[in-house]
Amino acid sequence: MRVHILGICGTFMGGLAVMAKRLGHTVTGSDSGVYPPMSTQLQAEGIELMPSYRAENLSVKPDIVVIGNALSRGNDEVEAVLNQGLPYTSGAQWLAENVLQNRWVLAVAGTHGKTTTSAMLAWILEYAELKPGFLIGGVPLNFDISARLGESDYFVIEADEYDTAFFDKRSKFVHYRPKTCVLNNLEFDHADIFDNLDAIKRQFHHLVRTVPNNGLLISPAADQNLIDVLAQGCWTRQEKTGMGHSPEAGWWAENVAAGETEFDVYYQGQLRGRVKWALSGAHNVSNALAAIAAANHVGVAPALAVQALADFLNVKRRMEVRAVVNEITLYDDFAHHPTAIASTLKGLRGKVGQQRIIAVLEPRSNTMKMGVHKDTLLPSLQIADQAFIYMPEQIEWQINVAKYPNVQRFNSLQGLIDTLVLELKPNDHILFMSNGSFGGIHQTIEDLLTK
């Protein structure tokens, strides 16, 4: 079968393309604004990429067109699909029908940490020799590919609450029907499709409704928004996680080292092992507890999961060290929500002590562009010694940096780069944060430092 994918360079659709190719289909796809890691992954897989949306791309005569949720009416290629009467579906539905049927699905949902937790869980199962399939919204460094079919019944999926497609406004995760379901956390996000927090809670409740009563729901004991979701109805056994012992949490972490580089894991009142790893941040401790609990549900002993996490390498663009040049460390991170920004900076501070942290942020997500987080953005950056924010003129809202002497705002990317290079000193830690390519600033700074 010839499968043609619109939006093929998105993290989800790029992974889907890899699995379709591995299933024996001929795969092509269209996208615009192409950048790594998905573009390089597709190239490595020998998947033909058409770098714009045009009716002419459909001359490949696809048997099915898979349309990503970033595509809407008015797009030239979408209109051609409809006008020609071609069969089409969403990525989530194609995945459910062609990959997830009759498999034990382990889904990881939540506002933050989905990608990292999914990668942790897939790696734990791999370490336990269970050979899982997975589809993750990033490239886990332990696998160096975002998706694979696997060789067992187990399939780990990052379960996104974003809508499915222009013709299916349900959240993608309602298609997956997991038996093991992690709900990492819940905050307001995706203001471009959700009117308010209650609208997101409703979609999470729809996910909860799909989990069978012989399955398992894992969530943090202290997240009030998830407590509200589960109070709407839950028919599945639950396990709770927490930082420090509490009556509600069956899984918890204690004796957490500075920077969260080590911590003890307890389950049902017993010490199960001590994680010693390369990651940092309290958010990653929480992610780890959820991944260990999910792996335990399919029979992986917590002690073995703890061993696996010692070798966990995280995901590309999740606190990824891009380079160390002239004793200056450059990191690339996907954080684009104030909660994630603050947690990431706190973890890095615990790891590097008093050495300078310079945060360089592009508010690129749809929610950020709408100004939803404008009141919490600057406070989230206060752990950094300095923060540079790229705010191009087309962003309608602006920020008042007068009360935050450590923050500078730039309308010009080149102006930001010029100022940053003059500022850098040995032992600095430069944290680039964006959910896009950020104009290639990472490589530009690295190149300038090596001159």
**CATH number for the domain that contains residue 116:** 3.40.1190.10
More confident residue, 303 or 258: 303
Residue range 419-447: mean pLDDT, rounded: 89
257 within domain boundaries: yes
Examine the domain organization and report whether 66 and 204 are in the same domain: no
Q: Please determine, for residue 396, whether its predicted confidence score (pLDDT) is greater than 70.
A: no
d(CA 147, CA 433): 24
pLDDT at position 339: 83
315 within domain boundaries: no
Q: Residue 22 — very low, low, confident or very high, per pLDDT cuts 50/70/90?
A: very high
Examine the domain organization and report whether 338 and 298 are in the same domain: no
Examine the domain organization and report whether 19 and 79 are in the same domain: yes
d(CA 265, CA 292): 9
Q: Please determine, for residue 368, whether its predicted confidence score (pLDDT) is greater than 70.
A: no
pLDDT at position 343: 84
Picking from 256, 298, 293, 254, the residue whose alpha carbon sits closest to that of residue 277 is 256
208 within domain boundaries: yes
The dihedral sign for the CA sequence 279, 283, 286, 287: negative
SS3 for 247? coil
Beta partners for residue 169, in sequence order: none
Examine the domain organization and report whether 184 and 110 are in the same domain: yes
Residue range 185-190: mean pLDDT, rounded: 82
pLDDT at position 191: 63
Examine the domain organization and report whether 300 and 331 are in the same domain: no
d(CA 443, CA 271): 44
134 within domain boundaries: yes
125 within domain boundaries: yes
332 within domain boundaries: yes
d(CA 175, CA 334): 26
Q: Name the domain boundary from 285, 309, 333.
A: 309
Q: Where is 378: in which H helix or E strand?
A: helix 374-380
List the helix and strand counts (H, then E) for the chain.
Answer: 14, 23
Examine the domain organization and report whether 63 and 146 are in the same domain: no
Examine the domain organization and report whether 218 and 289 are in the same domain: yes
CATH number for the domain spanning 405: value is: 3.90.190.20
Residue range 23-52: mean pLDDT, rounded: 85
Angle of helix 302-309 versus helix 114-127 axis, rounded to 10: 110
Q: Calculate the average pLDDT of the chain.
A: 91
Q: Please determine, for residue 60, whether its predicted confidence score (pLDDT) is greater than 90.
A: yes
More confident residue, 186 or 400: 186
**From start to end of 211-327, where are the E strands?**
216-220, 237-243, 251-254, 262-267, 270-276, 320-325
Examine the domain organization and report whether 71 and 182 are in the same domain: no
Number of domains in the chain: 3
Residues 6+ apart with CB under 8 A from 353: none
Largest CA distance in the chain: 62
pLDDT digits (tens, 9 = 90+) for 235-290: 999 999 999 888 889 999 999 998 889 999 999 999 999 999 989 888 899 999 99
pLDDT digits (tens, 9 = 90+) for 95-116: 999 999 999 999 999 998 899 9
Q: Residue 232 — very low, low, confident or very high, per pLDDT cuts 50/70/90?
A: very high
Residue range 344-363: mean pLDDT, rounded: 90
Beta partners for residue 156, in sequence order: 106, 134
Examine the domain organization and report whether 301 and 328 are in the same domain: no
Q: Please determine, for residue 370, whether its predicted confidence score (pLDDT) is greater than 80.
A: no
Q: With contact defined as beta carbons under 8 Å apart, do 373 and 341 qualify?
A: no
- Supply the pTM of this predicted model: 0.85
Q: Please determine, for residue 89, whether its predicted confidence score (pLDDT) is greater than 80.
A: yes
DSSP H helical segments within 298-364, as ranges?
302-309, 338-352
Beta partners for residue 50, in sequence order: 30
pLDDT at position 367: 66
pLDDT at position 242: 95
Examine the domain organization and report whether 126 and 251 are in the same domain: yes
Residue range 17-25: mean pLDDT, rounded: 94
Q: Name the domain boundary from 309, 336, 355.
A: 309
pLDDT at position 45: 87
CATH number for the domain spanning 7: value is: 3.40.50.720
Picking from 267, 265, 266, the residue whose alpha carbon sits closest to that of residue 277 is 265
Which of 136-150, 394-408, 434-448 shows the lowest mean pLDDT across its residues?
394-408
- For residues 199-222, one letter each, b for 16 or more C-beta atoms within 10 angstroms of the residue's C-beta and e for the rest, the string is ebbebbbbbbebbeeebbbbbbbb
Residue range 338-366: mean pLDDT, rounded: 87
Tokens 């990503």 sit at which residue? 68
Q: With contact defined as beta carbons under 8 Å apart, do 187 and 338 qualify?
A: no
Q: Name the domain boundary from 272, 289, 309.
A: 309
Domain limits for position 385: 320-450
Examine the domain organization and report whether 167 and 78 are in the same domain: no
Residues 6+ apart with CB under 8 A from 385: 356, 357, 358, 406
314 within domain boundaries: no
Q: Where is 442: in which H helix or E strand?
A: helix 441-450
pLDDT at position 369: 62
Examine the domain organization and report whether 48 and 195 are in the same domain: no
State in Å, rounded, how far the first CA of the chain is from the last one: 50
Tokens 């030239």 sit at which residue? 76
379 within domain boundaries: yes
Q: Residue 193 — very low, low, confident or very high, per pLDDT cuts 50/70/90?
A: confident
